[in-house]
Amino acid sequence: MKPHLSTESIYQLPETNLLTDHSWLILSSHSKCNSTLNDLWLHGFYFKASFGSCSEKYTHEICNLNFCSRYTSIVLSTVNYQTTFAVHTTLIERLFPDVAELERLRKENERLTKEKQSAEADFGMKRAKFIELFKQKEDALNEAQQLNTSLKEEMAKIKIEVMDVNTAAALSEGSKQDELEDLQRACRQEVASIQSIMKGAWCYALDQAAAKYEHDRAHWAELNSALEEELKDLKAKINNDRAEQENLEESMKKAQEDAEILKSVVMPLEEEVRSLKHKLRAAYGQLDELQGTKMRELNDSLKTEKSSRTDLEMYVAVLNTQKTVLQDDTDKLRMELQEVCNLLDEERREHSDLKATWQMANDQFLESQRLMMMDLHAMEEVLTDEQQRKITELKKKNAEREAAETRLKELEELRAQEEYDQKTRAHQAQGWSAAWVHSVSFSCVLFCFSFDSQERRS
């Protein structure tokens, strides 16, 4: 067991005790060191002296120098002393610079602790700002996504309505066009049939009149030739037989009688020709009247169809106007949707940049915190029990304060989420009411136009 000596007993030791080979000296509870450093105790100062070959020079080896918060071990290596008094003096002189170094380390510890606290406070504020900005961007992103979803749903509804309107317009246009074509086809067929009937009757009457006229002409030509022959015979008889002048009067009478007979035959034929002309005029008049009646009926039907077509054109114009309005609304919604998508992409980029910045700052903070914790652990090794207890209490208070701040932030987030849900439900209710009013008004317009067209047809 090593001997335990005080500082005063070290100076009173004889030289033989200090010069003994491999002898040990123990310094403990140095009074001057206690007056300089409040909590510094020197315990376990091991001094080993070894005697050399020289008569007045000694080699003293001091080992295991180590400073702690409460216990300090000092190791001095290979120091040559000439006398025993020089050994003690040099030992005390080497002890005081270590005390100043410990004081400097304590001041450095306090300075680093203050810097750490200020850095933690500054980082806490910056971290809170980053988290708040991150949450705001997330809320804005969620709002933009919900707005985008609602606009897409509204656009899908409008597309469905436009498709329904286009289908109804196409069906109505097709049905009206088919009815108009059927009516025009029927009118053309009826006009063609009337024209064919009139043409047949006219051709038949013309053929009959021509045949009758030809027959009468041939008959009168035969009579004329017979009369001419008879006249020639009479002239020959007159020329050949001038003696028969007495019979001239008789022949003249006979000629007059024949002329009267011819006149009696020609007059009925002329009357018959006049009657045939009158009948032909009457037939033409009936044909014209029949054509006028049919044409008036066709004109009336065409006017009716034109009025219905006008109604249909008005209806189609209204549908085209509504289609144009819906297309404009669709284009506006598409532009708004494009703008919202662009804003959403920009928000996503900003969100990703902010997230990367936040991650970088968080990594830097964690690295700085790790380095500070290493420095703090290194400095805690030289602190007293009272200081360590105070640090533990401060850590507990900080943890409680952070937990309270976390609970407060969670409550604020829940309240903000509830307000956003209420606003979203109100916006959806307004959108549904507007869509319902638009569909009802459009149905009323369609019903009014269909009712007007039915009345005009009737």
The structural domains of the chain, with segments of one domain joined by +, span: 99-219, 383-425
* pLDDT given for residue 137 in this prediction: 84
* pLDDT given for residue 387 in this prediction: 74
What residue ranges of the chain have pLDDT lower than 50? 1-85, 87-88, 92, 96, 435, 437, 440, 445, 449
**Residue 80: enclosing H or E segment and its boundaries?**
strand 79-81
Tens digit of each residue's pLDDT (9 = 90 or more) over 195-250:
777 677 677 767 777 777 678 777 777 877 777 787 777 777 666 656 556 666 67
* pLDDT given for residue 294 in this prediction: 67
Q: Is 19 exposed, middle or buried (0-12, 13-18, 19+ CB in 10 A)?
A: middle
Q: Which residues of 23-45 are buried (b: 16+ CB within 10 A; e: fewer)?
A: bebebeebeebeeebeebebeeb
* pLDDT given for residue 416 in this prediction: 81
Tens digit of each residue's pLDDT (9 = 90 or more) over 207-221:
777 777 678 777 777
Q: What is the β-pairing status of strands 71-73 and 41-42?
A: parallel
Q: Hey, what amino acid is at 42?
A: L
**Which is nearest to 135 in space by CA: 354, 363, 421?**
354
Alpha-carbon distances of 440 from 170, 262, 400, rounded to whole Å = 21, 93, 60
Alpha-carbon distances of 122 from 126, 346, 397, rounded to whole Å = 6, 30, 18
Neighbours of 340 (CB within 10 A): 17
The Cα 314–Cα 318 span in angstroms is 6
3-class DSSP assignment, residue 23:
strand
Cα–chain-centroid distance for residue 418? 25
Q: Could you tell me the pTM of the whole model?
A: 0.25
* pLDDT given for residue 450 in this prediction: 53
Sheet arrangement for strand 66-67: 41-42, 71-73, 66-67
Q: What is the dihedral of CA 91, 93, 94, 100, to 10 degrees?
A: 140
Q: What angle do CA 298, 299, 303 make, to 5 degrees?
A: 120
Whether residue 51 contacts residue 19, with contact meaning beta carbons closer than 8 Å, is answered with yes
The Cα 248–Cα 252 span in angstroms is 6
The Cα 414–Cα 350 span in angstroms is 25
**Residue 377: enclosing H or E segment and its boundaries?**
helix 246-380
